[in-house]
């Protein structure tokens, strides 16, 4: 990442990537860096991955966590997003948080609004699940938007990695 970032800690639950919180030393803010493991990155067409990430980076919407940057270093591919100070919908559900009908309606509205915005631009999430919905105050933000598509599209054969695994979360596929 260079001298402008300092890795702080690793987060759990990254699925097919390792997830780190880093400090952007120039702007004084926290960011999330997702790094594809070398075994997954090895099977990815890097030019196609870059093109797909560029499409996703164009999604500017209040309920979509934006991509800030992407890059590669040796055998690693990475992308960066803002750090959202909140919890995932999955975490809230697991700790048995009770949502009022109004809160459920607001969350669904935010998620559907984000999905409709992306779909109108030809981008499909491909891994929508409670873990990819972050709660920030009373708003829901969809994260990892289209990154599964970027990886899938960059694979040599129909979205299956060289290790034979499909891209996405099987329970939600």
The set of catalytic residues is: 127
Residue with tokens 């990892």: 144
- Which of these, 52, 50, 20, 17, lies nearest to 36 by C-alpha position? 17
d(CA 95, CA 102): 19
Q: Alpha-carbon dihedral of residues 44, 144, 126, 110, nearest 10 degrees?
A: -160
């Amino acid at each position: 990442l260079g001298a402008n970032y300092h890795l702080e800690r690793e987060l759990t639950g990254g699925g097919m990537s390792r997830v780190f919180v880093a400090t952007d030393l120039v702007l004084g803010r926290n960011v999330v860096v997702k790094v594809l493991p070398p075994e997954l990155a090895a099977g990815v067409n890097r030019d196609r991955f870059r093109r797909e990430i560029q499409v996703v980076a164009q999604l500017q919407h209040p309920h979509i966590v934006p991509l800030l940057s992407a890059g590669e270093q040796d055998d690693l591919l990475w992308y960066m997003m803002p750090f959202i100070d909140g919890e995932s919908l999955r975490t809230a559900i697991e700790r048995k948080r009770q949502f009022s009908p109004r809160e459920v309606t607001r969350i669904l509205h935010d998620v559907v609004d984000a999905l409709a915005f992306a779909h109108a631009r030809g981008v499909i999430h491909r891994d929508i699940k409670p873990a990819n919905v972050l709660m920030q105050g009373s708003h829901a933000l969809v994260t990892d938007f289209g990154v599964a598509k970027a990886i899938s599209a960059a694979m040599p054969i129909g979205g299956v990695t060289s290790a034979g695994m499909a891209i996405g979360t099987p329970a939600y596929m």
